A and B are shown apart, each in its own frame.
Chain A
Amino acid sequence: MKLHLKIWRQKDTKASGKIVSYELNDVSPDMSFLEMLDVLNEQLVSKGEDPVAFDHDCREGICGMCSLMINGQAHGPEALTTTCQLHMRKFKDGDTIVIEPFRARAFPIVKDLAVDRSAFDRVVQAGGYVSVNTGNAEDANAIPIPKENADLAMDAAACIGCGACVAACPNAAAMLFVSAKLSQFALLPQGQPERERRALRMVDQMDKEGFGNCTNHYECMASCPKGIDVENIARMNREYGFAFVKARSKP
């Protein structure tokens, strides 16, 4: 297939970028979206031009490195799919495809399509962990956990931290990500000792990073490659409220 690509090119964080058009012939429908970009880059390199910078790592939908706004949608038009698992058969011969980086103040552009998502790491560092004693691993069944909670925690833990929620949100809010990282612990016994502290610190860090505020459009859930539910956001809204009251009432 033949494609018209319109790709955001930006030299570095400070430079102002622009859309550059490229024509690509002989794209196989069996290629993944990233393989299509690899082909483009090979051609650019052979012409002595600067290849397009984009993030990727596992290319099997588990690491969360790949990003890209494809025709205005995070990870492209297919639901529940990362960019690396999107295939060119989703597009038609002769299509024009606009490719942009995930845009948010908290995700500065490093180069072209690659953005710096360390704001997510800092949110997790602020409280997205459990403190456990070292030593032998405990028996897996030593702590009984209700099946419902285990399922919900597992669903929340499916978040790969790709940032599509932020990219798709009209307000560039990070609520879906933060709430998933908070819920996976809030739902389990191991997460209880740090429960309140975690909610307060993670939300505080999220705000400090300059993400927007949630207005409940739910574009995040619709764009999430792992189908994380906005129920987690409601849980975080509760956790934060209760944590605040409890933190005040402590001696």
Chain B
Amino acid sequence: MASYFSSSIGRKHILAFTGLALCGFLVTHLAANLLIPFNPQAFNTYSYKLITNPLIYVAEVGLVGLFLVHVALAFWLNFENRAARPQRYVSKKNTGRGTTPSSATMVITGLVTLVFLVLHVMNIKFGAHYTVTYDGVEMRDLHRLVLEYFSSLPNVIWYVVAHVALALHTCHGFQSAFQSLGFNHPRYTACVKALGKLYAVAIAGGFAFIAIWAYGRGGV
């Protein structure tokens, strides 16, 4: 089995699997966050149910694991890719029919996402602890924290920039993962590519919308 995890293709399988799993996580995360502009109580109650469920620790460990494996493999593969061409070309031109701006910047957009995630967890999960009481149940007022965080313009700008990076990352990543896992079909691959673009724009656009909406509201 060791040879699978050290082989080029085995590692690409796992990079693709973890990447797609992270894409799935973002869908659930955005779906919940979209409650923020529309229903503060539902959002806080959902968050309360989530963080008081003991299974949350299992989910958190799983999620952190996905990230760590994804990032570690990305660096490992990238390191090898650089080593595979020790002497650069004096002049190198892409054909225009291969590399895209999104595929050429996977490492940098991945790194921006990584920095964003660390700050994001620090600012929100480990951020100020406000409370609110609904029907006699006291819970964390994450809605207030979010509004407060996005009342600052620099915070909103950084959030939007990070999501442009995420959109670029998933725009190539989503369809690339299908190819890495061995799915390439004369008819359906075009759909996968279109879906990837839609996914990238919808997810990053959705998160950015919440940030801009909160800023427009001007604080708590």
Contact = CB atoms under 8 A, between A and B. Distances in A.
Contacts of B181: 237, 241
A219 B10 contact: no
Contacts of A244: 4, 10
Interface range, B side: 35 or more
A215 B12 CA distance: 8
A71 B89 CA distance: 10
A217 B103 contact: yes
Contacts of B89: 69, 72, 100, 103
B53 interface: no
A231 B3 CA distance: 24
Contacts of A100: 89-91
A237 B9 contact: yes
Contact of B99 (A72, A103, A170, A175): A170
A171 B99 contact: no
Interface residues of A, number: 51
Interface string B56-99: 00000000000000000000010011011111111111111111
B85 A8 contact: no
Contacts of A160: none
Contacts of A79: 95, 97
B151 interface: no
Nearest to A235: B182
Contacts of B12: 213-214, 237
Output the residue of B8, B11, B12 with the most chain A CB within 10 A: B8
Contacts of B28: none
A212 B79 CA distance: 9
B85 A172 contact: yes
B84 A204 contact: no
Contacts of A248: 1
Contact of A71 (B4, B81, B93, B172): B93
6 contacts: A8-B90, A100-B91, A171-B81, A222-B96, A237-B179, A241-B9
Interface of B: 1, 3-4, 6-13, 77, 80-81, 83-100, 103-104, 106, 172, 175-176, 179-184, 186
Given A213-B11, A217-B100, 17 more contacts: A6-B90, A73-B93, A79-B95, A105-B86, A168-B95, A211-B8, A211-B84, A212-B84, A213-B8, A213-B12, A214-B180, A215-B103, A219-B95, A222-B95, A238-B182, A240-B9, A241-B182
Interface of A: 6, 8, 19, 69, 71-73, 79, 98, 100, 103-106, 168, 170-173, 175, 203-204, 206-207, 210-223, 230-231, 233-241, 244, 248
